[in-house]
Amino acid sequence: MSVDSILAAGAPPIVAILRGITPAEAVATAAVLVEAGIRLIEVPFNSPDPAASIAAIQAEFGDRALIGGGTVVTADLVDQLAATDARLMVTPNTDPELIARGMGLGLEPMPGFVTPTEAFAAIAAGARHLKLFPASALAPGYARALVEVLPRDVRLWAVGGTGPDTLAQWLSGPFAGIGVGGALYRPGQPAATTRANADALVDAWRSAGFAPSR
């Protein structure tokens, strides 16, 4: 399973970022996301006991969704993520050594970048899905200029300042998808609230005309 295969199957191009989630609430929260149609789920490593949450979500939903870890900033975290059997590795920065290490362990990298230099360093290391972060600090025109020089098989994702109200703005530009944190989930939030937020995101995606025809 990969980001491309998830999208090809018709799932919305939304990475759910569950920063701050605990193992006790991980499976219930992931369940409402999957029920809403979201198939890309990330637990940042600056959450409480993140490896346990990732492993629990992977065990329950790894056959239906691409599960991964975020804020992966050291080789040890790469190894911890690989040990969960999850397959998505999201980083806040571009570190070619970590990208290569992750890919060697079967992880699919989604590194964060801002500059063209960082983007090309990530691409040279093997990444094909790049996270522009923080996207809200940059006008969509910045990304449009970037894609003119990036390889055609590279896809950009907007993270930071994303939500149902801005989804159409990002996806109408050069972005393949978005990552959503606070507009979707906040620590301690009831699963029902997460489900309502997920539904709002998926409805915005469909209403904007981006969903494939059924």
SS3 8: helix
Q: SS in 3 state form for 164-209?
A: CCCHHHHHCCCEEEEEECCCCCCCCCCHHHHHHHHHHHHHHHHHCC
Q: Give the pLDDT band of residue 213 (cuts 50, 70, 90).
A: low
Among all chains, which residue has been given the structure tokens 């990002």? 170
Cα(91)–Cα(113) distance, integer angstroms: 9
pLDDT, position 17:
98
**Residue pLDDT, tens place only, 152-189:** 999 999 998 899 998 998 898 789 999 999 999 999 99
- 15 pLDDT exceeds 80? yes
User: pLDDT tens digit string along 62-71?
Assistant: 999 999 999 9
What is 3-206's CATH superfamily? Aldolase class I (3.20.20.70)
pLDDT higher at 211 or 24: 24
Q: Which residues are catalytic?
A: 42, 131
- State residue 172's pLDDT score: 83
Number of Cβ atoms within 10 Å of the Cβ of 112: 23
